Amino acid sequence: MKIVVIGSNSFSGQDFIDLALDNSINIVGVSRSDEKPDYLCKYKENNNIKLFKFVKCDINKNFEDLKKIISKENPEYVINFASQSEVAMSWEFPWQWYQTNTVGLSRLIKELTNINIKKYIHISTCEVYGTCRSEVNESTPVNPTTPYAASKASGETIVKMYSQEFGLPINIIRSTNVYGAYQQLFKIIPKSIIYPKLNRRISVHGGGIAKKSYIHIRDVSHCTLDILLKGTTGEIYNISPVNSISILELIEKIFKQTGKDMTSYVEFTKERKGQDKDYRLDSSKARKQFNWKSKICLENGIDDVIKWIDNNWLQIKNTSLEYNHIE
């Protein structure tokens, strides 16, 4: 079996690749940037790394090259993690988010209708739902509240349209907030561990009252592989833990596990535009169909991130902790 993984440098992409290699699956990873160093890329430690090939290619700037890669490799499956994904920055450059998440995607989907693949897996986001005032399932109408979420909802529409009209076999995945070792350092969980070690303060938007459902990336990767191999063609699947937690409660938990005094390192700032107040996803479809459940509790997952940061501190402390925007 061979899978082309677009967006292989993404946090979710690199973890899915590691799991796929564990299952002796051949992987061709495609990303617009150079492959990440070992301390930021889990699959590089995999015993089956010989089954992996990396190709640098930008879905927007080098689309003809991407077509050639897919044609040459002739994969059974294509899974797309590529996305402009930072919510706050999407307000500044909304056209760039649409370029990748909708326009570039539409070119890819059109091309996939011309070749024979078993399935295309599209990685979307829970943010297409907007604020969840009650638990939502896959049939809940989307209600995006940020340019990022709107671009992802538009992308979903393109995927579903081509599936319906041209018979492209697809699944769409909407996951809640992922975390784990190897995540981008500017994300809230690694940031809350790293900043106190550097004697820096963490800015918490809106008092930290917004609630999120944090799920360990390996739990998501397991469900993603189930969907790829066993998912009902055409279906959308939510992936989510049972419980949600406020940002402030999450930070308090992290500081308790690291033994740091939170009051010395946290400052509160105004809420960011379009911040959804709560995400509550019903993932019973995936739980029932695949007998799947999230197995890594938040406390153990945070411990995993703490150990990863401590073990790689010499490299991490000299790595940029800011989001680096690439057009």
The DSSP 8-state label assigned to residue 34 in this structure reads P
Asked whether residue 158 falls in the same domain as residue 11, the answer is yes
The 10s digit of each residue's pLDDT in 224-238 is 999 999 999 999 999
Please report the pLDDT score of residue 327 as a whole number.
64
Name the nearest CA neighbour of 89 among 325, 251, 327. Answer: 325
Asked whether residue 88 falls in the same domain as residue 185, the answer is no
Asked whether residue 63 falls in the same domain as residue 108, the answer is yes
Cα distances from 188 to residues 140, 203, 237, 277, in angstroms, run: 28, 10, 25, 16
Q: How large is the average pLDDT for residues 55-66? A: 96
Please report the pLDDT score of residue 272 as a whole number.
66
Asked whether residue 61 falls in the same domain as residue 185, the answer is no
Asked whether 7 and 13 are in contact (CB, 8 A), the reply is yes
Asked whether residue 121 falls in the same domain as residue 224, the answer is yes
- Token pair, residue 274, equals 């379009």
Q: Band of the pLDDT at 277, cuts 50, 70, 90?
A: low
For residue 270, is pLDDT > 80? no
Asked whether residue 148 falls in the same domain as residue 195, the answer is no
Asked whether residue 54 falls in the same domain as residue 187, the answer is no
Asked whether residue 259 falls in the same domain as residue 148, the answer is no
Please report the pLDDT score of residue 133 as a whole number.
72
CATH number of the domain bearing residue 262: 3.90.25.10
For residue 274, is pLDDT > 70? no
The residues that bridge with 173 in the sheet, in sequence order, are 123, 237
**Residue 173, domain member (yes or no):** yes
CATH number of the domain bearing residue 227: 3.40.50.720
Asked whether residue 231 falls in the same domain as residue 302, the answer is no
In our burial notation (b when 16+ CB lie closer than 10 A, e otherwise), range 222-256 reads bbbbbbbeebeeeebbbbbbeebbbbbebbbbbbe
Domain final residue, candidates 239, 254, 286: 239
**Residue 285, domain member (yes or no):** no
**Which helix (H) or strand (E) covers residue 13, if one does?**
helix 11-22
**Which helix (H) or strand (E) covers residue 73, if one does?**
helix 63-73
DSSP 237-272: EEE--S--EEHHHHHHHHHHHHT--GGGTEEEEPPP
**Residue 287, domain member (yes or no):** no
**Residue 258, domain member (yes or no):** yes
Range of the domain at 102: 2-178+214-239
Asked whether 189 and 133 are in contact (CB, 8 A), the reply is no
Report the predicted TM-score, pTM, of the whole model to 2 decimal places: 0.95
Asked whether residue 45 falls in the same domain as residue 188, the answer is no
The count of structural domains within the chain is 2
Q: Band of the pLDDT at 85, cuts 50, 70, 90?
A: confident
The residues that bridge with 174 in the sheet, in sequence order, are 238
- Token pair, residue 317, equals 């402390």
Please report the pLDDT score of residue 206 as a whole number.
81
**Phi, psi (rounded to 5 degrees) for 52:** -110, 140
In our burial notation (b when 16+ CB lie closer than 10 A, e otherwise), range 198-214 reads eeeebebbeebebbbbb
The 10s digit of each residue's pLDDT in 3-54 is 999 999 999 999 999 999 999 999 999 999 999 999 999 999 999 999 999 9
Please report the pLDDT score of residue 110 as a whole number.
96
The 10s digit of each residue's pLDDT in 144-203 is 999 999 999 999 999 999 999 999 999 999 999 999 999 999 999 999 999 999 999 998
Percentage of the chain with pLDDT > 90? 83
Average pLDDT, the chain: 94
Please report the pLDDT score of residue 135 as a whole number.
86
**One-letter amino acid for residue 45 of the chain:** E
For residue 325, is pLDDT > 90? no
What sign does the dihedral 118-73-106-102 (CA atoms) show? positive
For residue 275, is pLDDT > 70? no
For residue 271, is pLDDT > 60? yes
The 10s digit of each residue's pLDDT in 110-141 is 999 999 999 999 999 999 998 777 789 999 99
What 3-state DSSP class applies to 230?
Answer: helix
- Token pair, residue 104, equals 């570039």
**Residue 137, domain member (yes or no):** yes
Please report the pLDDT score of residue 276 as a whole number.
57
